[in-house]
Homo-oligomer: A and B are copies of this chain.
Amino acid sequence: MVAKRAGVSQTTVSFVLNKVEGQNISEETQQRVYKAAEELGYVPDAAARTLARGVSDNIALVLTQPHDAVFSDEYVAYVLTGIVQVVREQGFRVFVEMVDTLTQSDAYTQLAKGKEVAGLIVLPYNSRKRDVNRMLKLIDDGFPIVSIGRVGTATEIPEKLATVLIDSLYGIQQAMAHLISLGHERIAAISYAPEGATHESERRLQIYKSMLDEEGIRFNKQLVAYANYTPQSAVDAMNNLLELENKPTAILALNDVVAFGAMKAIESYGLRVPEDIAVTGYDGIHLAPFLSPALTTVDAPNVQQGRLAADMLLNLINSKPLASRHIELQPELIIRESCGYYLKQTKN
């Protein structure tokens, strides 16, 4: 079509529009091709192009979730945004796949083998060992995969799997140090996941324990409660803590949604945050500063996490060397009102 209109061969059109190097096409011919393409509103057929090239221009973000669960998590939105921002500059598009690892465990393989995408970014927080093995097999076959965060139940990050993590060790340490520096000793932790459900939540609890240890505070099992991803379950967990004879004076919420629920429970109970009980969160959701009291939380750079994962993936796709297979980003404690830090400051 374009070829006819410009009076050249299809080959020439392809060379011109793709700016293929090493082909001496005269300036004049090039202009003619561009003009013809412009006039016809030509857009190359994506499928034909992919078929001929053998590689797709798409990548997928794979979320491991039961697929009727709503991804209400801001976290995912942030990561996705980061990814889209980066890959679009190289002409890639992004699929969002919600994979129920129980019923569609071959989803990774489908995407890869069908050449639907050139690479995958995976949020594997609910995935099983079987899924991980599938991923590793694909990687061995040379298929690019980057993981964001730790794999669900696995204790170790597979060396082969490119990963972008957020250093929760550092984050939780900061939060705990902050609470301790404010004089708290009866610090309770509320996990966002059931006991043993994910490696990451267990890890955060572990850090909580070791921080207590370092400070010579005895770990008390009663002061650990488990929510179930929803804010309501966090309310319930907090209510259990409030029924203890020796109530905690501070709450380390393992994510912000839990912190929301905990604060709600505390105030419904008739106590005040931070005067009676201090609360810290983790994630840095964008409404955290606008709670009353504003939530002190560990701000994790999630957009950045998405961007870096996308960067890594593009490098893998283009067979460029990776600076590192495992990137760790530093979160930052943002001190606001929910721990009473500024209250103390003013008093002095």
Q: Which A residues lie at the B interface, using CB under 8 A?
A: 41, 43-51, 56, 58, 60, 67-68, 70-74, 76-78, 80-81, 84-85, 88, 93-98, 109-110, 113-116, 231-232, 235, 257, 260-261, 263-264, 267-268, 286-287, 289-292, 294, 303
Contacts and interface: CB of A to CB of B under 8 A. Distances in A.
Number of copies: 2
Best-buried of A68, A113, A257 by chain B (most CB within 10 Å): A113
Given A95-B95, A264-B290, A85 B114 contact: no
Nearest to A116: B46
A209 B315 CA distance: 55
A77 B71 contact: yes
Contact of A46 (B115, B257, B290, B292): B115
A47 B56 contact: yes
Given A70-B303, A74-B72, A98 B84 contact: yes
B72 A286 contact: yes
Contacts of A88: 67, 98
A49 B235 CA distance: 50
Contacts of A76: 77
A85 B113 contact: no
A231 B289 CA distance: 9
Contact of A43 (B41, B44, B110): B110
Given A41-B113, A45-B115, A60-B93, 13 more contacts: A41-B109, A43-B110, A45-B114, A46-B114, A46-B115, A48-B51, A74-B77, A93-B95, A95-B96, A232-B290, A260-B290, A268-B292, A292-B292
A71 to B, nearest CB: 6
A121 to B, nearest CB: 13
A109 B41 CA distance: 9
A116 B116 CA distance: 12
B70 A78 contact: yes
